Structure 1
Amino acid sequence: MASEMCKLRPMFPLLLWVTIAIFMILFYLSTNPGGKSSEILTLGNEIHTITIHQKVNETRKIRAKEEEFQDFLSLVRRVAMDDNTVILTEVNEAFAAPGSLLDAFLESFRVGKDIQHLLNHVIIVAMDVKAFDRCKSLHPHCYLLKIPGVSLNSEKVFMSKDYIELVWTKVKLQRLIIESGYNFLFTDVDIMWFRNPLRYISVYADLTLGSDNFTGDPEDWKNNAPNTGLVYIKSTKKNAEMLKYWHQARERFPPINEQLVFDYIKHELVGMFNLRIQFVDTAYWGGFCQPKKDFNKICTFHGTCIIGLEAKLHYLRIVLEEWKRFIASSASNFPGS
C-alpha cells in the first residue's frame, strides 16, 4: 500500500495545478463578461444553451402551426365530444361529387343504429374548393385544406403521386389534433357506418385500428394486417411523438402510402415508444378484404380491396342497401344494440 501511495504522490502537484487553472479561468470569465474569453462556454453551458434554443424553436413551430391551422383547431374544439374526441374524414372533388362516396358515407350515419348524433362530431376536411362547397351544402363542419403545388380535386389512381400526397395529409392533421389535446377517430370516406365503432376502443391501447386480415388476436401486431383507414389515437405525448416519427419515416421508403409505412415500422414504434396497438376484429370493423358481414355485429364496413372510385361506390351501395333491408326486417326487435 505504501509503495502505491508513493507512486500516486507525483500526480498530486499536477492535479493541484489543473484545479487551480480551472478556478482561475472561471474567475476570469466571471470578472470579464465583455472580454473575448467570455465567448468560451463550458460543455455544460453549451448543452444548456442548445436545449434552450431547441425549446424556443419548438415553441415557435407550435405557435406557427397553431396560427396556420387556427380555424381548424377552432373547429376541433367546437365539435369535440365530452371526452375530447373528434371524428375526422377527408374528401376531394371526386369523393364529394353528387352521388359519390360522401353521400353514401353521410347516409350510412342516418340509417345506422343510434349513430346519427355522431355527425355532430364529424369534421370533413376538403382538399379543394369544389369539395369544400359541396361539403358545406351537406354538413355543418367542413374545413378547406390546401396543399401548395398539389392538385387533389380529381380521382387519384391508387399509389399515384397525388394519391400518396392525399393520404399523407391525414397523418399531418392527426398529429396536430393530438398535440392540441384531443383524441381522434379517423375514418376514410369509403367506410359505411352502421353502429358506433367507439364501443370497441380499448382503454388499454394507445392506438386502435382496423385490419384487412384479422388473425383472431387483437394484440398480434406482428401478423395482423393494419388498415389505417379507421384508427383511434388517444391524445398523449407518446402518441404525438409516435405520429411525428411515423410521418418522418416516409422519407426512408419509396413513395408509398402511410399504411404501408406504418406496417414496415410498427416494430420500431412498439420498441421505441412502447406503443400498445390493438386491432379490431373484422366482424365489427369489416371490409371486402375479409368480408364477414354479419349485420348483427357489424359497426363499420370499409371499401377495402376494391380498386377504383366507381367500383368502390357500386359495392358499398350494395352493402348499404343490404343493411337497409336488414333493419327493415328487424323492425321493432332490433338486435346488436
Structure 2
Amino acid sequence: MRGKEGEEEDENEEAEEEGTGFSIFAPLAPLYLNYKVAEMMKRPSRPPSLSSSSFGRLLMDESADRTPRTVPRRLHSVVPAFLLLALTSLLCLLVYLVSGPIEFSPRPAAGGLLGKFGIEMKENVSGLSFESFGPDHEDARIRSVFGKAATKDKTVILTTLSEAWAVPGSVFELFLESFHNGVNTHKLLDHLVVIALDSNAFARCLSIHIHCLPLVTEGIDFSGGEKFFMSHDYLKMMWRRIDFLRSVLVMGYNFVFTIEEASYQKATCSRQLGMLASPTWKLPNQKDADILWLRNPFPRFYLNADFQIACDHFLGSSLDFENRPNGGFAYVRSNNRTIAFYEFWYSSRELYPGHHDQDVLNYIKYDSFVTEIGLRIRFLNTAFFGGLCEPSKDFNKVCTMHANCCVGLSSKLHDMRIMLEDWRKFMSLPPREKRLQLSSWRVPQNCSLPSE
C-alpha cells in the first residue's frame, strides 16, 4: 500500500458488483416446481409424431383436426389442479408470514450510500452487544479485529463512530460513499476498522461494515447526550483515544487515523483570524468521519517518516514545524520512536491540565524529547490532503478533502455532499478534460468561520 511521493496513481476505477434482489415469492418456488413435476408424471405419453410445439399449435388452431373429448378432458383435469395450487400457495404464504415476518431495511435520504451501492442493513446475527464488552481483554479484541482487517504490512485504517453519526444519511455514510467513488479506494474498505463508542454506534456498524471494534471508556456513556467541548468527559474521551492509539502501536500495527472534532476547529480557526472564542459556546462533541477519501493516499506518504499529519494550513515545507497540524488525519508507523512519542504525548496531559490533545501536540512538537528519540515528523501538503480551510486545487492530485473550519452538522453535511458531487462530475469527464485542470470546488457554501 506504500509508494513514493509524487508517484502517479492508476486512474482506472474498479467496477462495482451488482447485487441480486429478493422476491417475496421465493419460498413458494420449490412447491411450484414439485407440482410441475407431478403433473408431468401424470400426463400420458404423446404420440412420437406430435412434438410439444405442434401440440401447442394444435390447441390454438380452431381449424385443427382434434378429438373433441381430448382437450376438454385435459382442461377438466388442469382447472382443479390450478385451484389446488393457488390454495396451497396461499396457505404456505400465510404460514411463512406468520412464522417470520418480512422486514424491509430503512432507506436513507435519496442518493445515500445504502440505496446507491446496495449495502443493506443486516440483522446482528452474531448476538454481540456493546454492553457485553468491558475494559478487560481489550487487547485481545483489538488483535482479533485487526488481524482480519490489517494489510500484509500490518496497516489499518481507523475511524470512530458515535450515536449521533450512526443514523442513515449521516456524515459517516458520506465518508463510506467516498471510498466507492474514489480512485483505487474501494479496496481500502477491507482495511477500515470502525471504533464504536456506544451501543447504537456498534449496532449500526455491525449492520453495514465488516470490521467493528467496541471501545468502552470506563465511567463515561457516550450515547444519548452531548459531551461539550473542553468539558471533563470530552477531554477524557480525547485522551482515551491517544492511549488507545498508543496500544495499537505497541501491538505492532501501523495506522491511518481519519477523524476530526469540528468543535475544535471552531476554536482553532477563530484564533487564526485573531478572534476571541466566546466562553459561552456550547459545542457538541462532533467525532465524525468528515474526511472524503477521493484517491488512494498511500503513494503520497513519505517513506522515511514515522509520524505524518495533515494540516489546516500548510506553509510550503513538510519539515516546517510552524505548519498548523490537524489531528483529523495522520499516518503513523509502529516502531520504538512512535511508541515513545505517544507515551510522551499521553503523559503530557498532566503537564497541560485542561488542554485538548491537539493543543498539547502543538506544544510538545518543539520539545527536546522529540529530537532525542529521533522521531521523524512530516506535515502533509494540502495540495494532496486538503480541506475547507485550504482546499486542494488540483483534482488530479487530491487524495482527501476535509470538512474542517466548518460549524454545525447540517452545514457540514450540505458542503460534504457538494464536494462529493464536484468529485463525481470530475470523474465523469473524458481523460483529456481531466488533464486540463479546469475543475474547481463549489465549497464552502453553508460552511463558514464563526464570528461574534
Which of 272, 295, 300 is the equivalent residue of 1:200?
Answer: 300
Q: Distance in 1 between matches of 2:404 and 2:237?
A: 17
Aligned match of 2:360: 261
Partner residue of 1:20? none
Partner of 1:240: 339
Q: Structure 1 stretch 163-172 or stretch 241-250: which is displaced more?
A: 163-172
- What SS is found at the alignment partner of 2:382? coil
CA drift at 1:291: 2.1
Task: Give the superposition deviation at 1:71.
Answer: 1.2
Pairs within 5 Å for 1:263-302: 263-268=362-367, 269-302=369-402
Change (3 A) 1:308 1:253: farther
Amino acid paired to 2:311: S
CA deviation profile, 1:267-293 (whole Å, cap 9, x unmatched): 115333222110111011111111234
Whether the aligned pair in 2 keeps the contact of 1:114 and 1:195 (CA below 8 Å) is: yes
1:75-130 CA-to-partner distances (Å, cap 9, x unmatched) read 11211111111111111011222111110110000111111000000000000010
Structure with larger Rg:
2
SS for the counterpart of 1:231 is strand
The counterpart of 1:138, out of the listed 175, 187, 208, is 208
Query: 2:75 matched to 1:75?
Result: no
Q: Give the drift of 1:329.
A: 2.2
2:184 alignment partner in structure 1: 114
Q: CA deviation at 1:194?
A: 0.3
Counterpart of 2:240 in structure 1 is: 169
Once residues 197 and 159 of structure 1 are traced to their aligned partners in structure 2, the CA distance between those partners, rounded to angstroms, is 31
Q: What is the SS of the residue equivalent to 2:365?
A: helix
Superposition deviation, residue 254 in structure 1: 3.5
| 2:265 paired with 1:183 | no
Asked if the contact 2:426/2:434 (under 8 Å) is kept, the reply is no
Counterpart among 275, 300, 314 of residue 414 in structure 2: 314
1:40-51 map, 5 Å:
none
Separation (CA, whole Å) in 1 of partners of 2:392 and 2:226: 28
Amino acid at match of 1:74: S
Which residue is 1:231 aligned to?
Answer: 330
Q: Is the 8 A contact 2:385 2:392 kept in 1?
A: no
* Alignment match, 2:316: 216
Q: Structure 2: how far apart are the matches of 1:144 and 1:177?
A: 14
Structure holding more helix per residue: 1
Q: Distance in 1 between matches of 2:430 and 2:291?
A: 23
Matches within 5 A, 1:78-97: 78-97=148-167
Residues paired across the two proteins, number:
271
> Where does residue 126 of structure 1 map in the other structure?
196
1:234 Cα deviation after fit: 0.9
| Structure 2 CA distance for aligned equivalents of residues 71 and 97 of structure 1 | 25
Partner Cα distance (2:395, 2:159) in 1: 24
Cα distance in structure 2, aligned partners of 1:238 and 1:142: 28
**TM-score, structure 1 length as denominator?**
0.75
Q: Cα RMSD over matched residues?
A: 2.1
Answer yes or no: is the 8 Å Cα contact 2:163–2:198 preserved in 1.
Answer: yes
Unaligned runs of 5+ in 1: 1-64
Moved over 6 A (4+): 331-334
Aligned amino acid, residue 117 of structure 1: K
Q: State the AA in 2 paired with 1:138.
A: I
Which deviates more, 294-303 or 160-169?
160-169
Gaps in structure 2 of 5+ consecutive residues: 1-134, 260-288, 438-452
Contact 1:66/1:73 (8 A) holds in 2: no
Equivalent position to 2:217, from 144, 147, 157: 147
Deviation at 1:163, TM superposition (A): 3.2
Residues in 2 aligned to 1:109 and 1:334: alpha-carbon distance in whole angstroms: 20
Between the aligned partners of 1:85 and 1:164, the Cα distance in structure 2 is: 27
> Percent identical across equivalent pairs?
40
Closer, same or farther: CA 219–176 of 1 in aligned 2, 3 Å: same
